[in-house]
Chains A and B, each alone.
Chain A
Amino acid sequence: MASTAPGAGSIPLEIESVVKRFGDVIAVDGISLQVRERACLGLLGPNGAGKTTLIRSIVGRVRPDSGSVRVFGEPASSPAARRELGWVPQDLALYPLLTARENLDAFGRYQGLGGKALRDAIAWCLEWASLADRAESVVKTLSGGMRRRLNMAAGLIHRPRIVLLDEPTVGVDPQSRNHIFEMVEALRRAGTTVIYTTHYMEEAERLCDLIAIVDHGRIIAQGSKEELVARSFGSRSDVLMRIEDAGAGAAAWAAARGGTLQDGVAHFPVDRPSDIAALLDGAARDGLNVIDLVLRRPNLESVFLQLTGRELRQ
């Protein structure tokens, strides 16, 4: 990016105590965040947590009741800030009867591009989204995954320094999802700052170096994945032991060792992997037939469960 860009050297995104209410519902409840340059921040939370409202506050589509959003030091509503922001909404915000190229042309012009700069931007977007061979296809004839990629490309046509991706993989097949991950990773390699909302923890784990867990309009925890897990679970891991014909006896056996039995699988928290040997010995001694056993490090899902008492996708 050119060094003369607005706010060069300042923090890409600063969110300060943003509150947004819709009637009696508090969608965003005093969220504060700072995102450093080239970072990828994952906003992880269940549906209705307030992620989309926060994103819409950043791009100026929602007016916060209080608090402020600054982009490279400029108010988010300013033209200078808008130039630096690229928003990929959750919906397929495209013209269905225009071709992929025509859509990019339209959104490029809405961003003030024209001439060679626009042609170059369209070429880059088509390449980035692997849609060069479908450039002349009408959007409604594209597959769901292609539309998603075009939707992303349309948000990046003006090559912004900060990209906000609002659940970009909703409703796509695993292959297309991988394709989207690769696109985001390419963006990161190019030095773009990314804010990525999702309720899929594996997406946040793969793509983001900083994760903020959002629930009921608040950030309840933030940090790297490792930091979040360590903060909630320390060095503890889970042992999952599947037991043949697990009945009441097996449940009592698990409970006596600090575990629980769910659907024939006994869960035990362990501090060290070597604790597994004692569990296996005990099972053999008490006549329980262990079918398989997994040692699992707690993940973001576990962190969310630990923090809220609810599953991430409830």
Chain B
Amino acid sequence: MIATIVRNGFRALHRDRGALILSFILPVAFFSIFAAVFGPMSGNSTPRVSVLVVDEDRSEASVALVNGLRQQGALSVKTRPDAKEGEPAPPEYSAATAEAAVKDGTAPAALIIPAGFGGNPVAFGPGPRRKAVRVLHDSSNPVAGQMVAGLLQEVAMTSMPASMAEVGMRYFDQASGGLTPEQRARIDANLARLKEFTARRSQAGESPAAGNAAAGGLVAVEMRDVVGENKRSPMIAFYAAGIGVMFLLFTASATGGSLLDEAESGALDRILSARVSMTTLLAGKLAYSMTLACCQLTLMFLWGAAVFHLELFSHLPGFIVMTLASSFTVAAFGILLASVSHTRGQQAAVATLLILTMSAIGGSMFPRFLMPETMKKVGLLTFNAWAIDGYTKVFWRDEPVSHLLPQVAALVGGGALLFLAARRFARRWESV
């Protein structure tokens, strides 16, 4: 008896493609996606943190520090913007252009070595004469700023041995009551050799030996949040957009699925036998789904404004543009999904698979800026990524509406293509 029940269960499962996909393909697909997204973040292949470095000092110590930062495997150091093809290399970053680049999201952090840093680069304790290295960061990526500041201390330990020794001897000179001329001459000779060694190692591209990263405070650091420094809830817009778009996709797929319900009940036949064309019908479904999506996003952002101090009302134009573009795209996605599916079960299974996949790689579940470079690029194939990028520009970077053109173009263009594809697939519901 039990065997019969088990056999019947497997027979039914075998014939239910939707259930089969949910049972076997979805878990494996998700495992693969998360392994690809998060796997490289552990072990040796930690993604590098991109940092813009400005050396205003140009001293021996600052050059050694910059070289040391370049050698640091966890950082990707840039001192000037990438050159466009066929054009001369652009000038190096200044403090102002580096700050602007962090603000517009080019890099999550910038490190400014101020003029005069080389005069007193390190200290074994607080000192009034030290010039602080400024770390400018974007708090939407809280990891980057802290990581740059921490690695700066490590690099200072290992890349400026001469400066370390010089300062050490100065302390010793003061504490011991003064060195003899012979002692001072010998120390100066050794320091010269040490500087020569450091320069040679730097030219050879060798990495400094791993230092004690825990020895903080060796180089004075001044951290400054240059994006959203006045914002009370830094990540709320990101989460509102990320979670909002993911659920929008689910809602749009359910709304689009009404086409399948109507086809099954015969209502679709009745509608199409009246004075309604398939294009009109799909346009109507798109309009409904888009309106619903707009309402959902508005509710989510209103809630964010009321409870989490999201600055919605000071960003209304950008919010409206991004909400309309995102809603249009998810509505078209839902209709396409219904048009290609033959049953509600099939549509639900494919929708779950696609939406969770897009949400995982598109940044709805986990910020894209923390993903490996490859996954960041793959994420741009999803609507989630474009929508989140657009909302981030509006709410986080305070960028004007005109800067949303790439995101709006990607969303609206993609949505239009999906709608055209849906219209094509919907031909099967017209006269047979």
Which residues of chain A have a CB within 8 Å of any CB of chain B? 22, 56, 59-63, 79, 82-83, 85, 87, 89-96, 107, 110-112, 154-155, 158
Contact = CB atoms under 8 A, between A and B. Distances in A.
B269 A94 contact: no
B265 interface: yes
A111 B273 CA distance: 9
A59 B273 contact: yes
Nearest to B272: A61
B113 to A, nearest CB: 67
Nearest to A88: B270
Interface of B: 265-267, 269-276, 431-432
Given A61-B432, A94-B265, 6 more contacts: A56-B269, A61-B273, A90-B266, A91-B266, A107-B271, A112-B274
B369 to A, nearest CB: 43
A93 B266 contact: yes
Given A89-B269, A94-B267, A107-B270, A63 B275 contact: no
A63 B428 CA distance: 12
A60 B270 contact: no
A153 to B, nearest CB: 12
A87 B273 contact: yes
B431 to A, nearest CB: 4
Given A60-B431, A63-B432, A155 B270 contact: yes
A22 B267 CA distance: 22
A26 B270 CA distance: 24
A154 B274 CA distance: 11
A16 B285 CA distance: 37
16 contacts: A59-B273, A60-B273, A61-B272, A61-B432, A62-B431, A62-B432, A63-B431, A79-B275, A87-B270, A92-B265, A92-B266, A93-B267, A93-B269, A93-B270, A110-B276, A155-B270
A110 B275 contact: yes
Nearest to A158: B274
A107 B269 CA distance: 12
Contacts of B432: 22, 61-63
A102 B195 CA distance: 87
Interface of A is mostly: loop
A61 B273 CA distance: 7
A87 B270 CA distance: 8
A112 B269 CA distance: 16
A61 B275 contact: no
A107 B267 CA distance: 10
Contacts, number: 54
Nearest to A91: B266
A110 B265 contact: no
Contacts of A82: 273-275
Question: Which 10 A-B residue pairs are closest in the complex by CB-CB distance?
Answer: A91-B266, A93-B266, A110-B274, A93-B270, A63-B431, A93-B267, A59-B273, A89-B266, A111-B274, A112-B275
Contacts of B269: 56, 61, 89, 93
A61 B265 CA distance: 15
Contacts of B276: 110
Contacts of A83: 275
B292 to A, nearest CB: 15
B431 A61 contact: yes
A87 B266 CA distance: 11
Nearest to B431: A63
A87 B269 CA distance: 10
Contacts of B274: 82, 107, 110-112, 158
Nearest to A79: B275
A95 B270 contact: no
A58 to B, nearest CB: 10
Contacts of A59: 273
Contacts of A112: 274-275
Nearest to A112: B275
Nearest to A64: B431
Contacts of B271: 107, 110
Contacts of B272: 61
Contacts of A89: 266, 269-270
A94 B262 CA distance: 8
B325 to A, nearest CB: 30
Contacts of B275: 79, 82-83, 110-112
A59 B270 CA distance: 9
A94 B269 CA distance: 11
A95 B267 contact: yes
Contacts of A63: 431-432
A79 B265 CA distance: 24
Nearest to A108: B274
A83 B276 CA distance: 12
Contacts of A94: 265, 267
Contacts of A79: 275
Contacts of A155: 270
B344 to A, nearest CB: 14
Contacts of A60: 273, 431
Most buried by A among B274, B276, B432: B274
A79 B275 CA distance: 7
A90 B431 CA distance: 17
A62 B275 CA distance: 16
Contacts of A107: 270-271, 274
Contacts of B265: 91-94, 96
A60 B432 CA distance: 9
Nearest to B271: A110
A154 B266 contact: no
A22 B431 CA distance: 13
A1 to B, nearest CB: 19
A199 to B, nearest CB: 19
Contacts of A91: 265-266
B376 to A, nearest CB: 43
A91 B268 CA distance: 11
Most buried by A among B265, B270, B432: B270
